Amino acid sequence: MSKANDREIVKIQYNSDKNLNARQAFHIIFSTNKYAWANWVFDQYSIKPNERIIEFGCGNGSIWSNNKDRIPKDTKLVLTDFSEGMLNAAKESLQDIEGIDYAVMDIQNIEYDDDSFDCVIANHMLYHVQNRDLAISEVARILKPEGTFYATTNGSNNMKGFKDLVVAFDPRLNIKSFSVTSEFGLENGEEQLYKHFNSVEKIIREDSLHITEAKPFVDYVLSLEGHTNGKEILTESRIKDFYAYLENIISRDGSIDIPKSSGIFIARNPKK
């Protein structure tokens, strides 16, 4: 078990949408690709009217709130999350969309019959699952034979150099021990999916970070509570020092530039 899929740590990390909001804001502000991630992801979906769709780990529902006008007519949408707090945040942001069902649910134990859905979605969450093989087999089970599974994740080069900057400020910060891509990333996700699907396609999104302010950077690091020891090391005085450290780099170099690596797997033909 790693810090990425430790059940207790994940509970702490996602008991509300506060931490997720900090990270989403960071990427929205500084991503060089100004076409929104939520819109790009939705572009990859092939959803037809009247289809039945379920998303696991829906978070704050940002994929749907950013694409309200693109949801096909009479779509039967079920949004689930491991965290009730996160699910409440999704309900709040999507309250003007009728007909969405919400459920606290574990992707490792899906409470639906075989061949129940046309589409299953899991965005940036499979790396938090302890038994991914069971989870993916459950997804294949509830999908119709012609159904599709969409799963986004990051690559091993995502935000390369980010952790080095943090550790250079204070070597006590254990941010390097936290890795999600070793669990389910662009480099190893395909193999995991092929165990339960006959067809897997990988699509990469081109993007990077051009960071010109210190505060969102600091907020991002603090948002990793549980996964790292940032909350313990970054006391009020050390946060001020961290700001100064980052501001000096930005002043000297003009910006902090970090590569990104993310994309989506599209798995079809579930093995029954």
- If you search the block for the tokens 């946060």, which residue do you land on? 239
Provide the 3-class DSSP secondary structure of residue 74.
coil
149 within 8 A of 197, measured Cβ to Cβ: yes
Tokens of 157: 């080069």
Is the pLDDT at 263 greater than 60? The verdict is yes
Nearest alpha-carbon partner for 217 in 182, 245, 181: 245
Instruction: With H, G, I as helix, E, B as strand and everything else as coil, classify residue 101.
Output: strand
Share of the chain above pLDDT 90, in %: 87
Which residue do the tokens 């006590």 mark? 172
d(CA 166, CA 175): 8
Q: Residue 56 above 70 pLDDT? A: yes
Cβ-based neighbour number of residue 154 at 10 Å: 21
- Does domain 7-270 match CATH 3.40.30.120? no
Query: 127-165, pLDDT tens digit by residue?
Result: 999 999 999 999 999 999 999 999 999 999 999 999 999
pLDDT of residue 73: 87
Q: Would you place residue 9 in the very low, low, confident or very high pLDDT band (cuts 50, 70, 90)?
A: low
For 180-202, the pLDDT digits (tens) are 999 999 999 999 999 999 999 99
Provide the H-helix boundaries in 174-235. Answer: 181-184, 189-194, 215-222, 230-233
Average pLDDT rounded to a whole number, residues 206-229: 94
Average confidence (pLDDT) over 38-43 = 98
* Domain boundary assignment for the chain: 7-270
